[in-house]
Structure 1
Amino acid sequence: MSIAAIGAALASSASVPTTGLASTGSAGAATGTGATSGTGFAQALEGGLQNLSDVQTKADDLGVKAATGDLTDVHDYMIAATKAELTTELTVTLRNKALDAFNEIMRMQG
């Protein structure tokens, strides 16, 4: 599934109400006592996936330039490739933690 398709799916499911997940913009702080629309979480997730796509695209473009000899500073490619690798690892780790949390919640209900 492409990142655009994931983003579209999140945007369409963003109307699911959540409790107390309104972000204040500070490092992970949650506020609010009532239900929110959940669009903040969906937008943050979509933004993170879009950032991952952008970082990987930049690394790919610089890789092509390096291979064709059009890149003057090879270290720019190395930095972009490392950033793409770390961003991918972070995204996979967050996905794994979310799945672990989901599975734990499902075990609690049974």
Structure 2
Amino acid sequence: MTPLTVPADETLGLLRARNRLREVESEATMQPYRNLAGNSGVEAFDILRDGIKVRFVSGGTYLYDYRVPGRTRVEEMKQLARAGRGLSTYIAKFGAEYAEKID
């Protein structure tokens, strides 16, 4: 059989569509960060079974999971996200490593 080839411009279009779908899905499940201190760089978050997605006010959504930066850090980030205080500071100190930049 001859392998199916897709022109580069169609492949790029499919990738853009897939990425946009991921953005919409991510936005739909994210909870606003309560920001009790009033000065957080975190806008919203989504707690996952083995990770947390964090969207920042300055732009960009990042996935932190049990692989990177690790289970202990992720569980602490989940607690801070639920509390609405300290998540941005914690990430600045300990969460510079992330598993994936989503957007």
Which TM-score band applies after superposition, normalised by the shorter structure?
Answer: under 0.3
The structure in which a higher percent of residues are helix is 1
Which one scores higher on RCO, CA 8 angstroms, separation ≥ 6? 2
Query: Which of 1 and 2 has greater Rg?
Result: 1
Task: Name the TM-score, length of structure 1 as normaliser.
Answer: 0.26
Task: Name the TM-score, length of structure 2 as normaliser.
Answer: 0.28
